[in-house]
């Protein structure tokens, strides 16, 4: 498989630390965005532990299907963050979102917890693949809020589940067939709270290299106020392996 990738993170304009973290490994086909939370820089610790645990788990457990591997890796990360928090007073209550895309053969495997997001651009179709595990996201799904009401809801940041904070996770998992030319965007809410889906879609559809695309997304979030850390990982599928080769 041939890919192009660009990943950037920015502290934004209001925060003192950057608790977001991205991980990109083209060889493994592994792409992660984690948005940590917790005082005293604990958010940075949580996202770091979660990402490290995911990488380790995926390298060691190989017999299972990619979906099973990802599920196990996320459960391991959940335990690792929770245990670290229990072992250090300063880290109590820390947690993180995790949004993962694993590319294998001709498939993209998504596994996700929290309110970071993954978008997919296929031909000219732009779609959010991940559910937002936030109160507002749930109210939207249930039709309690309209999209307009959701945008201005004061409860926008309340998460329903997060790595390290929720003993029984309800992991969002999907897999999709990959097509040459597909683009994916993994990002934290520091982008999506500041920049509308319509704007993100317009930027992602531009036929320009990924680096300026990534820079434009971050810039737009900053211009809109940069209230939170901003992370964007964009990848583009340039060539797929034939179905027989592994």
Interface stretch with Ca ion, choices 10-18, 139-147, 183-191, 207-215 (CB under 5 A):
183-191
Asked if 189 interacts with Ca ion (CB under 5 A), we say yes
What is the pattern of x (binds Ca ion, CB under 5 A) and - over residues 214-243?
Answer: --------------x---------------
3-state DSSP assignment of residue 58: helix
Asked whether the beta carbons of 19 and 33 are under 8 A apart, the reply is no
Asked if 132 interacts with Ca ion (CB under 5 A), we say no
Angle at the Cα of 32 from the Cα atoms of 224 and 111, rounded to 5 degrees: 110
Site for Ca ion in 34-93 (CB under 5 A): 35
Dihedral sign for Cα 241, 102, 179, 210, please. Answer: negative
Site for Ca ion in 190-209 (CB under 5 A): 190
29 vs 190, beta carbon nearer Ca ion: 190
194 vs 234, beta carbon nearer Ca ion: 194
Asked whether the beta carbons of 204 and 234 are under 8 A apart, the reply is yes
Interface stretch with Ca ion, choices 98-106, 140-148, 172-180, 184-192 (CB under 5 A):
184-192
Question: Would you call 58 exposed, middle or buried from its count of C-beta atoms within 10 A (0-12, 13-18, 19+)?
Answer: buried
Residue 157, Cα to own-chain centre: how many angstroms?
16
Which residues sit at the interface with Ca ion, rule CB under 5 A?
35, 188-190, 228
């Amino acid at each position: 498989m041939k890919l192009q990738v660009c990943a950037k993170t920015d502290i934004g304009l209001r925060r003192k630390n950057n608790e977001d973290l991205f991980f990109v490994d083209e060889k493994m086909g592994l792409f992660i965005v984690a948005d940590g939370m917790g005082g005293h820089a604990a958010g940075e610790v949580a996202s770091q532990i979660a990402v490290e645990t995911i990488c380790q788990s995926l390298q060691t457990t190989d017999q299972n299907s990619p979906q099973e591997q990802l599920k196990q890796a996320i459960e391991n990360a959940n335990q690792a963050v929770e245990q670290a928090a229990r072992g250090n007073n300063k880290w109590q209550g820390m947690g993180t979102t995790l949004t993962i895309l694993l590319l294998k053969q001709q498939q993209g495997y998504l596994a996700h917890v929290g309110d970071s997001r993954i978008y997919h651009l296929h031909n000219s179709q732009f779609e959010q693949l991940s559910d937002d595990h936030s109160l507002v996201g749930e109210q939207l799904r249930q039709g309690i809020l309209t999209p307009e009401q959701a945008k201005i809801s004061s409860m926008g940041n309340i998460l329903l589940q997060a790595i390290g904070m929720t003993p029984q996770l309800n992991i969002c998992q999907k897999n999709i067939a990959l097509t040459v030319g597909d683009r994916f965007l993994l990002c934290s809410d520091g982008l999506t709270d500041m920049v509308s889906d319509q704007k993100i879609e317009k930027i992602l559809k531009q036929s320009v290299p990924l680096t300026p695309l990534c820079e434009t997304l971050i810039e737009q979030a900053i211009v809109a106020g940069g209230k939170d850390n901003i992370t964007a990982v964009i990848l583009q599928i340039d060539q797929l392996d034939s179905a027989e080769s592994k």
